[in-house]
């Protein structure tokens, strides 16, 4: 049974002692689309993405992957870049990818393929500790793509990128759905997901205040501000 969603969360809740940082969040990510999870600092974006990527456990609620209750085995189909990429500073880009490629048992060619996708083919022996922020970010995405995931989770992927890097990343992300890769990304800026996301969710203070198709004629800026204000008042 599948309703066209590659991923859903059902009343996902995360509590730390007395504070509820996610409160019954239900998102619906359609297969082969880009979903933008928007919200201000501390809204609960990374917490949501970490639960889906298996880095955190929810207090209650469920994650449904491809119509079934999420299990750790689903992680073979999920690539993620959340907060900082786990990189070895003393290794080159290729060597970093080689470590994970070996663990996953993938073919050698895949390394050049992902380097090509993220535009990082010319860094040679340069050690990652000498990479710029943007280069590290690209390498993090390359790592997340190694396994040919069906679902790619990117937490604030434009962090540290220059305007050209942001534009290139947008084009890269936009090209994924037609290659069978669904993208779930987070941002605190509406402008970053505009014209890129098919659907958006707006989260504030742990509550999903809006979810729907992105339509360029909608005044999302006003909606975004209103949701953030409403949640701030009710908390």
Ligand X SMILES: Nc1ncnc2c1ncn2[C@@H]1O[C@H](COP(=O)(O)OP(=O)(O)OP(=O)(O)O)[C@@H](O)[C@H]1O
Cα separation, 67 vs 139, in Å, equals: 31
Nearest to 226 by CA among 198, 191, 190, 185: 190
Q: Given the complex with ligand X, which of 23 and 150 has the nearer CB atom?
A: 23
What the block records as the tokens of 172 is 């890269």
82 lines the binding site for ligand X (CB under 6 A)? no
Distance, in Å, from the CA atom of 86 to the CA atom of 91, rounded to the nearest integer, reads 12
Does residue 174 touch ligand X according to CB under 6 A? Answer: no
Tell me how far CA of residue 60 lies from CA of 57, 99, 225, in angstroms: 9, 35, 28
Closest CB to ligand X among residues 47, 150: 47
106: exposed, middle or buried (Cβ count in 10 Å: 0-12, 13-18, 19+): middle
- Stretches 37-45, 68-76, 93-101, 207-215: which one binds ligand X (CB under 6 A)? 37-45
Q: Which does 124 bind (CB under 5 to 8 A by kind): ligand X, Mg ion, none?
A: none
Cβ proximity to Mg ion: between 114 and 169 the closer is 169
Tell me how far, at minimum, the Cβ of 10 lies from Mg ion, in Å: 22
- Which residue from 9, 23, 33, 46 is in contact with Mg ion, where contact means CB under 5 A? 46
Judged by CB under 6 A, does residue 16 bind ligand X?
yes
Query: Is residue 158 a contact partner of residue 166, using CB atoms and an 8 Å limit?
Result: yes
The entry of ligand X, Mg ion, none near residue 178 (CB within 5 to 8 angstroms by kind) is: none
* 61 touches 13 (CB < 8 A): yes
Contact string 88-127 vs ligand X (x = CB under 6 A): ----------------------------------------
Q: Is 21 in the site for ligand X (CB under 6 A)?
A: yes
Please report how close the Cβ of residue 186 comes to ligand X at its closest, in angstroms: 7
Asked whether 147 and 106 are in contact (CB, 8 A), the reply is yes
Q: Name the residue number minimizing CB distance to Mg ion.
A: 46
Q: Rule CB under 6 A: is residue 190 a binding residue for ligand X? A: no
Decide if 81 contacts 140 (C-beta within 8 A): yes
Binding site for ligand X (CB under 6 A): 16, 21, 39, 41-47, 188
């Amino acid at each position: 049974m599948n309703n066209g969603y590659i991923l859903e969360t059902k009343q996902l809740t995360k509590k730390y002692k007395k504070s509820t940082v996610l409160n019954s969040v239900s998102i619906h990510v359609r297969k082969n689309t880009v979903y933008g999870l928007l919200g201000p600092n501390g809204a609960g974006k990374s917490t949501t993405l970490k639960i889906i990527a298996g880095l955190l456990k929810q207090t209650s609620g469920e994650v449904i992957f491809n119509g079934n209750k999420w299990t750790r085995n689903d992680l073979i189909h999920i690539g993620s870049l959340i907060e900082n990429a786990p990189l070895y500073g003393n290794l080159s880009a290729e060597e970093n990818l080689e470590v994970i490629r070996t663990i996953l048992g993938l073919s050698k060619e895949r390394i050049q393929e992902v380097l090509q996708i993220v535009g990082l083919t010319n860094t040679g022996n340069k050690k990652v500790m000498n990479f710029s922020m943007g280069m590290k970010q690209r390498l993090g995405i390359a790592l997340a793509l190694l396994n040919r995931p069906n679902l790619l989770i990117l937490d604030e992927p434009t962090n540290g990128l220059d305007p050209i890097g942001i534009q290139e990343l947008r084009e890269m992300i936009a090209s994924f759905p037609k290659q069978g890769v669904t993208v779930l990304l987070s941002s605190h800026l509406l402008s970053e997901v505009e014209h890129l996301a098919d659907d958006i969710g707006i989260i504030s203070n742990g509550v999903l205040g809006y979810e729907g198709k992105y339509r360029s004629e909608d005044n999302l800026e006003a909606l975004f501000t209103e949701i953030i204000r409403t949640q701030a008042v009710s908390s």
